[in-house]
Structure 1
Amino acid sequence: MHPPRAPLHPLLSGEHPLPKELGNYLVKVLRLRAGDRFVLFDPETRSEADAELLRDVPAVARVAAVRTAKRSSLRDVTLLQGLAKGDKPDQVLRAAVALGATHVTFVRTERSMPGAELRDERLRAVMLDTARQCGRGDLPELAPLSSLEAALQASDGLGVLLDPNAEQSLVELLRVVAPTQSIALAVGPEGGFSEKETQRLLAAGFQPVRLAPFVLRTELAAVAALAVVAAHAGLETQSAAGEPRATDP
């Protein structure tokens, strides 16, 4: 069983009183008591450390030597996600953290709900909670809500446009792409990108690819695409290191 994890910035070795909110989380939510061990991580510096709770209330911990986080993103992946309604941004952001995206930009599109806004504090809390759960030691860079034009100007790497009618699949495209290649994934909102937006993406060099023989919901499309890209980076990295790939006998 993996030890529980909690975020803390700055992360320093030694004996320290813990912030009240963190102490409440460890004691009241995780039910830790003096003598219990856990892991602290600082996504700002991509570091982590083993820790022991010395006192419950107020919470005091002994933090061991700080080390580089064991798990972080394997490649530079930017997600350009059309702004969707409800809690879909939360779902997309959880997937982005757990599946290794390094940059996330929510894009206001022609089919986004008029007046929809994002709460940065809530989104950061979602990212921290996901990183705590999945073991990731860093966080994606979350850009402000943007127009498509501004997002394209800021994006870098191989542009990939998810299109259920595309001739080429994402898997086929990645077969000829190095696992270290930066990738920018463009995912439309409910109803997809408009024709004008699609043409702008194509003009910017984005290559249309499909994921499945079916039309996926926007939040599911983001999850599926990020999972394929993460698997490609992980498998190719293992292969380059001489480790067996999942398809090897």
Structure 2
Amino acid sequence: MHRFFCKEIGEPGNSVELDTRDQRHLFKTLRARPGDEVELANGRGTVAIARIDGNNALLIKNREDFPPPAVKIHLFVSPPRRQKMDQLLRQCAETGVWKLVPILTARSVSQPEDSVLERWDAVLLEACKQAKNPYHPEVQPLQPFAKAVASCKNMDIYFGAPQGTWPPRRMPEAKPLSDIAWFVGPEGGFSPDEESALIAAGAQALRIGPWVMRVETAAICGAALLLCCIQKQKETE
């Protein structure tokens, strides 16, 4: 069943409207007909099934509200160049990253302008549709490294580094409404001063594999492994 983004999803029996582009795709490209059903998602946890009536209106048949994850992964990453960044965005949606914050570090090779945020958001939206992820990850404008670290005062902080350990010496907490910050530097890694700043903020260095990883690989592998740690903790409680 095809999934479409719909900003506002009402109660069963109410009608909803897609934007012009999706409306055209549904009726012109997919050739949908009265009686067909489609899946709708608002990116904030609500998913619904809608049926097309005789006037080509979409009527909500049923809806389900998914609770947000108890533990949210905030990915702070020095963004790779365009094609690799698009890959990273898609994998964030597939993995379940809650928020993505591009950071400017001493060795960053890419400094995207705020104008790219709309395109990044569109990539995330399409990836959420394919992954059936009911929550659309938030993507923020580029932040200086120091500002990003300062924003993590109430989070468990981890960062990727060759001298790090695995598994974590201090496991991420599985308590409800907790947040994890996962920092990934550029291809050259964080500078010594940046690593010192992270450690001073209470961060733990992690080595998530035996070999050197690209930024987009390390970002997603680390996020997935931290989520697995949380799941294991839940299972043992």
TM-score where L is the length of structure 2 = 0.86
Counterpart of 2:117? 120
Counterpart of 1:211? 208
Superposition pairs of residues 8-19 of structure 1, within 5 angstroms: 8-13=6-11, 14-19=14-19
User: Cα distance, 1:194 vs. partner?
Assistant: 1.7
Unaligned runs of 5+ in 2: none
State which of 173, 177, 181 in structure 2 corresponds to 1:178. 173
User: Cα distance, 1:27 vs. partner?
Assistant: 3.3
1:159 pairs with 2:160: no
Q: 1-side partners of 2:193 and 2:98: how far apart?
A: 27
User: Cα distance, 1:109 vs. partner?
Assistant: 1.3
User: Cα distance, 1:122 vs. partner?
Assistant: 0.6
Counterpart of 1:27? 27
Counterpart of 2:137? 140
Q: 2-side partners of 1:120 and 1:59: how far apart?
A: 33
The one-letter amino acid paired with 2:47 is E
Q: 1:25 to 1:229 in 2, by over 3 A?
A: farther
Superposition pairs of residues 78-117 of structure 1, within 5 angstroms: 78-113=74-109, 115-117=111-113
**Alignment identity in percent?**
26
User: Cα distance, 1:105 vs. partner?
Assistant: 0.7
Contact 1:40 1:49 in 2 (8 A): yes
The one-letter amino acid paired with 1:205 is G
Local SS of the residue matching 1:18: coil
Q: 2-side partners of 1:158 and 1:18: how far apart?
A: 39
Counterpart of 1:52? 51
User: Cα distance, 1:30 vs. partner?
Assistant: 4.5
Q: 1-side partners of 2:186 and 2:158: how far apart?
A: 15
Unaligned runs of 5+ in 1: 241-249
Q: 2-side partners of 1:36 and 1:149: how far apart?
A: 52
Q: Deviations over 1:32-71 (max 9, x none)?
A: 3332212101114x2121111236xx8521112433137x
Q: 2-side partners of 1:19 and 1:114: how far apart?
A: 33
CA RMSD of aligned residues (A): 2.3
Q: 2-side partners of 1:236 and 1:114: how far apart?
A: 37
Q: 1:157 to 1:39 in 2, by over 3 A?
A: same
Q: 1:98 to 1:239 in 2, by over 3 A?
A: farther
State which of 204, 221, 226 in structure 2 corresponds to 1:224. 221
TM-score where L is the length of structure 1 = 0.82
